[in-house]
Amino acid sequence: MALTGVAVAGMPHVGRFVWAQNAVSPSDVIAGKIEPMIIHNDQTGVLETPLELLREDRITPKDRLYIRNNQILEPEGRTIESVEDPGWVVQIDGLVQYTKAVQLADLADMENSEVEMVLQCSGNGRSFYAQAIQTRGTQWQHGGMGNVVFGGVPLRTLFESFDPELGVHANAKFLTVQGADSPTGTASDFEHSVPLDYALEHAMLATHMNGEPIPGAHGGPVRFVIPGYYGTMNVKWVNRIRFDAVETNNYNQIPRYREPIEPIEPGTDFTFTFDNSIPNWNQKVKSVIFGPLAGESLSTGQVEVRGVAWNDGMTGIEAVQVSTDGGTSWTNAEIETPDSPYAWYHWSATVSLDSGEQTIISRAIDKKGRAQPLDGTIDWNPSGYSWNGADHVTVEVA
Amino acid sequence: MQSISRVALGLIAALLLGLPALAQEGPGGLPAGPGADLVFAKCQSCHSLQYVKDSAGLPLFLWEDTVDEMIRNGLELTEEEYEIVIEYLGTYMGPNPPEPAAVADAADTEAAEGAGAADSEAPAEADGAAVYAANCASCHQGEGQGVPGVFPPLAGHTAQLAVAEGGRDYLVHVLLYGVRGEIEVQGTTYDGVMPAWAHLSDAQLAAVLNHLIALDGDGADVEEFTPDSIAEHRGEGLSAQDVLEARPDVNGSN
């Protein structure tokens, strides 16, 4: 069917149309993003940073930081330029005695702080689950992450600045954060719930990223930033924060952005409930090899393997180990401990490689003993979230 | 694991480049099969088809979950359309898609539908309103009013273009080759992607243009588009960017 329309003289195959449509540059999707970012969705704007680009910087610049937007946005949401909107208002309500409305301009007058942290899409690495069974969503490799510095007003500072005070009800256990982006039609607005206690200790209303006002595409002018948690919980364009007794039942909280608590057999259907699943909150311990990269050709002998590791920041990274024999023996890498518990730990190890096709494996272990599974598909889940399998890189050694 | 992703990339490349092994292509490089047109029409409202293709291999229940999620995200499907889309995705984009030969057989026996399916048996008399509803309304909305800043309005604007110098050619080009980039319509800026609809028949494309012109009361004086007026622009091999460059400037006249 359907071939008739295009199988005409001068048009060899339909693929040519497709290629023409897809042959756009990252800056056509999000203005200012550079080649060779990988375009996953050119309409809402979903771009991945290839590792050869990501590994160049300790702090990921805005022109190459990955992006994952849920809605088709107006132009100010599709640029790495900042958004000028001092009158932007964040409504604070829910289980409080007095609701509040905070203007962006007010935030500048409060005590600000900065946090260096890994911002990582909860779908990062999803494509690797296909080793077991394909999962749904953007087929990210490793580049749905970056290491950035957010600046803004800590939530506790903000809440304590109110007079009269908020009067938070004792039943409030969660903060539900809503973004200004809204889908077309009758779909519900984007919001996420996070535990109140954690948010009060760690979250901020961020206005800056890497020392500049947050780019429009990355959630400017105001983004909810909660270090240690996956990217999706860091709600962009935040315009409402609600004190709730329970998690929201918004579909972005359930069934979306959740995974089963107990492992399930790959390919198993699963009905998500609040009790049998957890949201994409704490990032799992993970390491990624930045060099050598897959497919590189190397000479036999000593090879330096390097990369980054991180977790949810609750405790430090204890060790990163590298194996060249399929996980039978491991070499401990040297680790550089960052100032921020949420930032990348850079590591390197020297291993010896024989000729032929060789696979280098890395795994991180944190001080709580949480380690990357050798086979990440053990955590297979229907939407392919929170991949943290030990990294495998195959190279050609001659 | 990297080798697996390379295989996946190879498959995608094969789809895009139309290698012989995957010659049975539907619109936009989707595997040919009943329902491919509907997937082409509906899914690009919000995301590129690459997303769908990248997910090839999902088991049926995950495709159901995915489509359900898209509905919560704003996708509108009738019950009948839902069945067709799920059947197509679960079969042709599932873990064990049929061999191309089997697909060709299925296509031969598929009933022609004036609204959506664009095969060789499409009726000469196409219903423009039905073509519009099946293919265009999910982005440009039921009455062609569009979504400000996201999807441009077609009501009024189509007739405006049809009487502008070079406008008739432009309208046909947009349908056959798509258009991409920044345009201004009735004072609002749009910077999006309109896919090519070359898989629809000449009669269907002419009918939908006439339908759009009729949506505007002033459109009565515009010469009707005929299937021939579509056919003569096929095979020009334009890119979506080429189409944008030849867009008539109609903003001064509104």
Confidence of residue A10 (pLDDT cuts 50, 70, 90): very low
pLDDT of residue A324: 97
Query: If you measure CA to CA, which chain A residue comes closest to B26?
Result: A2
Average pLDDT over residues A72-100: 92
Bridge partners (DSSP) listed for residue A366: A317
Evaluate the CA torsion angle A225, A226, A229, A234 in order and state its sign: negative
Backbone angles phi, psi at A103, to 5 degrees: -95, 150
On the question of pLDDT at A12 being above 60, the answer is no
> Which residues on chain B are in Cβ contact (under 8 Å) with A256?
69
pLDDT of residue B103: 56
pLDDT tens per residue across span A153-175: 999 999 999 999 999 999 999 99
How far A180 CA sits from the closest chain B CA (Å)?
A: 15
Contact (Cβ atoms closer than 8 angstroms) between residue A45 and residue A73: yes
Which of A5, A127, A393 is closest, CB to CB, to B8? A127
Average pLDDT over residues A93-106: 96
pLDDT of residue B141: 87
What does the DSSP assignment read for B112-136? P-SSS--STT--SS--HHHHHHHHT
Interchain proximity A269–B200, CB inside 8 Å: no
Provide the Cα torsion A164, A170, A175, A178; round to 10°. Answer: -60
Interchain proximity B235–A10, CB inside 8 Å: yes
Cβ atoms < 10 Å from Cβ of B19: 14
Which of B66, B74, B192 is closest, CB to CB, to A183? B74
What does the DSSP assignment read for A16-40? HHHHHHH---HHHHSBT--TT-EEE
Counted across chains A and B, CB pairs separated by less than 8 A come out at 201
pLDDT of residue B241: 87
On the question of pLDDT at A124 being above 80, the answer is yes
Tokens 């789809």: give the residue: B15
From A15-29, A84-98, B63-77, B90-104, the region with the lowest mean pLDDT: A15-29
Interchain proximity A14–B18, CB inside 8 Å: yes
* Residues in chain B where the model's pLDDT stays below 70: 1-24, 100-124, 217-220, 252-254
On the question of pLDDT at A307 being above 90, the answer is yes
User: Is B80 exposed, middle or buried, given 0-12, 13-18 or 19+ CB atoms closer than 10 A?
Assistant: exposed
C-alpha–C-alpha distance, residues A248 and A255, integer Å: 11
Average pLDDT over residues A254-277: 95
How far A80 CA sits from the closest chain B CA (Å)?
A: 16
The pLDDT mean for chain A works out to 91
Query: If you measure CA to CA, which chain B residue comes closest to A361?
Result: B1
pLDDT of residue A6: 25
Name every residue whose Cβ is closer than 8 Å to that of residue A160 and which is 6 or more positions away in sequence: none
pTM of the prediction? 0.80
Which of B63, B196, B241 is closest, CB to CB, to A17? B196
pLDDT of residue A283: 98
Query: If you measure CA to CA, which chain A residue comes closest to B24?
Result: A3
Contact (Cβ atoms closer than 8 angstroms) between residue A192 and residue A253: yes
Evaluate the CA torsion angle A375, A376, A381, A382 in order and state its sign: negative
C-alpha–C-alpha distance, residues B66 and A218, integer Å: 25
How far A45 CA sits from the closest chain B CA (Å)?
A: 9
> Which residues on chain B are in Cβ contact (under 8 Å) with A41?
47-48, 50-51
Average pLDDT over residues A19-31: 72
Which of A23, A127, A183 is closest, CB to CB, to B5? A127
| Residue B41 vs residue A176, higher pLDDT | A176
Q: Kindly report the CA angle at A72 between A67 and A78, in degrees rounded to 5?
A: 50
pLDDT of residue B109: 46
C-alpha–C-alpha distance, residues A259 and A249, integer Å: 15
How far A12 CA sits from the closest chain B CA (Å)?
A: 9
Helical axes B2-17 vs A15-22, angle rounded to 10°: 120
